[in-house]
Amino acid sequence: MDFAKEYQQKLVTAEEAVKCVKSGMWVDYSLCCGIPVALDEALAGRVDELEDVKIRAGITSTPRKVLEVDKEGDHFTYMDWHWTGLTRKYKKAGNKNVFFTPLLYRNKPYHYRENINVDVAMMMVAPMDEKGYFSYSLSNSASRAIAENADIVILEVNKNLPNVYDAKDGNIHISEVDYIVECDSALPTLPPAGEPSEVDKAVAKLVLEELVDGSCIQLGIGSMPNTIGTMIAESDLKDLGIHTEMLVDAYLEMYKAGKITNKRKQIDNGRGVFGFALGSQELYDWTNENRGLVSAPIDYCNDPYVMAQNDNMMSINNALEVDLLGQTASEAAGYNQISGTGGQLDFLTGAHMSKGGKGLICMSSTFTMKDGTKKSRIRPRLAEGSVVTDPRSQAYYLITEYGKVKLAGMSTWQMAESLISIAAPEFRDELIAEAETMGIWRKSNKR
């Protein structure tokens, strides 16, 4: 079979490719570095011809033309599985057509195969190899399931995307594709991490005390996980492994320091596994044709039963607030959607199931409002509108700059006492009074 010839036969302009989109259709944009640029612009160019086109995407990291040409939602409705600063910006700017889709991340491929339909799938991929396959590159995630479920598949081929080896089924063949568009757009990147705060350093130090040689590590995103990665790179730890949904620069820093070998992993031995990547160009270069670093569909990567096969699975994530009942909110502040559930609960569960594993939720004890008012992140109740990311029934460690507590197996009064012990001191008396009102404080509790 002449795959190069088939490629040329399917190669069209972005404007030609999006002619297949009709009013009322469901269109899928993939996720993060897989979100198309030329196809999005071409679809936006048809704004006056189309009505009620519903677009799904995830982790929107570059501007979306369909949102810039239609703020009212008369033509395009945009639904994001996991919000970013850019998604929030569009919402704040008055876009009435931006919505959040709640998701336990590992269920995403299942939803595409069983619960939702895709009329047209548009996704960015790496260039085709000699066998006719395209790598999903930095955005494996649910790409395979999306393509399988789509009536029409359009690939936007970008030579800037690395060829990332797959642990399972992270490729799509030319025979499965309807149209091909070429666009060598710049990849979304994250700016270098700034200097860590003293709070970040204090929390990171407490996290490091829980890690052991051979730990398999999952890191979330943000200044605190970055600080933890830096401190790991500077530590005496060795033979660490990677099993994570998101590959970030902290892993590259640990690798360059000789901390990552993956040789003590019980599953995918010798290989670091991730679902998608977002970071620096150097991070992307590290993934290119690196057989020691492979991507996997998210229903494999985030499966608690898979990750739990690795001993000492360490899940390290952020939270926005925790209430005295032990419920964690990590994705929304009141009615203000910040991000999404992602894989936090998946990894919290898997780490708890792992031999020697630990689920670590990290946060500063306080935050400061725009008016300068300081608030406690440990609250009697979650703010109105906040949703529970991690239920109190799932055991985890909670760490602030004032200490760490393991909430596994605790009663309500024990949880309240433990949580208050790591709250900022100026809020503890107030929290105790609230705990007494809630009926979760014993007379003999420490004050």
Q: CA-to-CA distance for 156 and 120, rounded, in angstroms?
A: 13
Among residues 84, 179, 52, 164, the alpha carbon closest in space to that of 122 is found at 179
Q: Are 400 and 203 in contact (CB under 8 A)?
A: yes
Q: Using CA atoms of 100, 105, 107, 112 in order, give the dihedral in degrees to the nearest 10.
A: 50
One-letter amino acid at 227 equals T
CA neighbours closer than 13 Å in the CB half-sphere of residue 131: 6
Please state the φ and ψ torsions of residue 226, each to the nearest 5 degrees.
-60, -40
Please state the φ and ψ torsions of residue 105, each to the nearest 5 degrees.
-55, -40
Q: At what angle do helices 223-233 and 249-256 cross, to 10 degrees?
A: 10
Q: At what angle do helices 198-208 and 223-233 cross, to 10 degrees?
A: 50
DSSP state of 266: S
- H helices within 11-84, ranges in order? 14-17, 38-44, 65-68
For the record, the structure tokens of 41 come out as 């612009």
Q: CA-to-CA distance for 291 and 411, rounded, in angstroms?
A: 46
Confirm whether 426 is a catalytic residue.
Answer: no
Among residues 190, 189, 255, 199, the alpha carbon closest in space to that of 224 is found at 199
Dihedral sign for Cα 126, 128, 182, 75, please. negative
Instruction: For 91-120, give the DSSP string.
Output: HHTT-TTEEE----GGGHHHHHHHT--EEE
Q: CA-to-CA distance for 82 and 98, rounded, in angstroms?
A: 12
Residue carrying structure tokens 């996704």: 123
DSSP state of 171: E
Among residues 359, 361, 245, the alpha carbon closest in space to that of 312 is found at 359
For the record, the structure tokens of 389 come out as 């990311």
* Catalytic position from the list 16, 156, 234, 245: 245
CA neighbours closer than 13 Å in the CB half-sphere of residue 46: 21
Active site positions, annotated: 245
